[in-house]
């Protein structure tokens, strides 16, 4: 089966977590909105499904079409894909643990978004810059250490090199992406945190070196971080 991913074509965003899972597994997929409209792609194809008059309708991208299934909400898409892509162990306890960790990593993504849009997603960043500076400060000094400290501790208590133990899961890919995003958005803030997350940094390198993922990260399919995405580099929001 060829999976169809629907997500904004110009950013990594939450869709990147799905892309990472598909790429790591070498799954066949189409990143629909990145195709030209003449090939059934573009944002229009995505929005059409969000305005469907019957069946399951997503609230927002990313969503995935897998045969007859239409699956929306990032953690839900990962929940569906992971067992099919070999990205989660078979036993229920491990699956619940993976989902818990991925949901927690996605909470970081949400909070990272709100550093540049603390007041309203409908307003420009420039119109909430003052508030963004305050929110980013508390995010960098309180939230990042708390979240990353939690994942570091999970690795310390793991029986292997990955969050769940000896085998990689989508939780590792998700935490990897969070680290890359935070590094992009808050390079100074992360410099200060990094010496306390050595195991996480090892995990990040281990994930980045997975052969298929390394090829993906070096390819043009990996959209660079940018200031339309969730993780944005605004120097004024970073630690000085």
Contact residues toward a second copy (CB under 8 A) are 53-59, 68-69, 71-73, 75-76, 79-80, 92-93, 96-97, 99-100, 103-104, 110, 114, 118-123, 131, 134-135, 138, 142, 147, 150, 153-154, 157
Query: What gap in Å lies between CA 43 and CA 48, rounded to an integer?
Result: 9
Give whichever of 197 and 213 is closer to a second copy, judged by the CB atom. Answer: 197
Q: What is the DSSP string of 73-85?
A: SHHHHHHHHHHHH
Whether the bond into 62 is cis, omega within 30 of 0: yes
8 A C-beta contact, residue 16 and residue 177: yes
Q: How far is the CB of 131 from a second copy (least distance, A)?
A: 5
Task: Say if residues 125 and 132 touch (Cβ distance below 8 Å).
Answer: yes
Taking the complex as a whole, the smallest distance from the CB of residue 221 to a second copy amounts, in Å, to: 26
For residue 68, the minimal CB distance to a second copy (Å) is 8
Which residues lie below 8 Å from residue 235, measured CB to CB, with a gap of 6+?
A: none
What is the phi-psi region of residue 110: left when phi exceeds 0, alpha when psi lies from -120 to 50, beta otherwise?
alpha
Residue 78 CB, shortest distance to a second copy, in Å, is 11
C-alpha closest to that of 79 among 93, 96, 54, 58? 96
| Cβ contacts of 51 within 8 Å, gap of 6 or more | 57
Task: Please state the closest distance from residue 59 (CB atom) to a second copy, in A.
Answer: 5
- Give 37 or 107: the residue with its C-beta nearer to a second copy: 107
C-beta closer to a second copy: residue 34 or 113: 113
Token pair 């995505």: residue: 46
Q: Which is nearer to a second copy, 121 or 219 (by Cβ)?
A: 121
- Smallest gap from Cβ 196 to a second copy, in A, equals 17
Nearer Cβ to a second copy, position 163 or 190?
A: 163
Using CA atoms, how far apart are residues 180 and 73, in angstroms rounded to an integer? Answer: 21
Q: How far is the CB of 58 from a second copy (least distance, A)?
A: 8
| CB-nearer residue toward a second copy: 73 or 194 | 73
In sequence order, which residues have a C-beta less than 8 Å from that of residue 184 and are 6 or more positions away? 225, 231, 233
Complex with a second copy: residue 39 or 146, whichever CB lies closer: 146
Q: How many Å apart are CA 99 and CA 45, to the nearest integer?
A: 29
């Amino acid at each position: 089966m060829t999976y169809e991913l629907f997500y904004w074509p110009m950013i990594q965003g939450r869709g990147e977590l799905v892309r990472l899972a598909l790429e790591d597994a070498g799954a066949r997929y189409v990143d629909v909105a990145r195709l030209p409209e003449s090939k059934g792609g573009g944002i229009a194809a995505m929005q059409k499904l969000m305005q469907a008059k019957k069946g399951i309708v997503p609230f927002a991208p990313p969503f995935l079409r897998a045969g007859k299934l239409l699956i929306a909400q990032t953690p839900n898409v990962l929940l569906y894909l992971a067992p099919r892509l070999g990205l989660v162990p078979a036993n229920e306890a491990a699956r619940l643990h993976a989902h818990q960790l991925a949901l927690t990593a996605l909470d970081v993504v949400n909070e990272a978004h709100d550093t540049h849009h603390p007041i309203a997603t409908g307003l420009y960043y420039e119109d909430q810059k003052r508030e963004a500076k305050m929110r980013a400060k508390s995010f960098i000094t309180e939230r990042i250490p708390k979240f990353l400290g939690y994942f570091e501790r999970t690795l310390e208590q793991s029986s292997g090199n990955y969050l769940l133990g000896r085998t990689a899961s989508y939780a590792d890919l998700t935490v990897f992406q969070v680290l890359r995003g935070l590094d992009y958005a808050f390079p100074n803030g992360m410099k200060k945190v990094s010496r306390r997350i050595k195991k996480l940094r090892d995990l990040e390198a281990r994930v980045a070196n997975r052969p298929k993922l390394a090829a993906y990260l070096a390819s043009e399919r990996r959209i660079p971080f940018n200031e339309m995405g969730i993780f944005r580099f605004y120097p004024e929001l970073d630690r000085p």
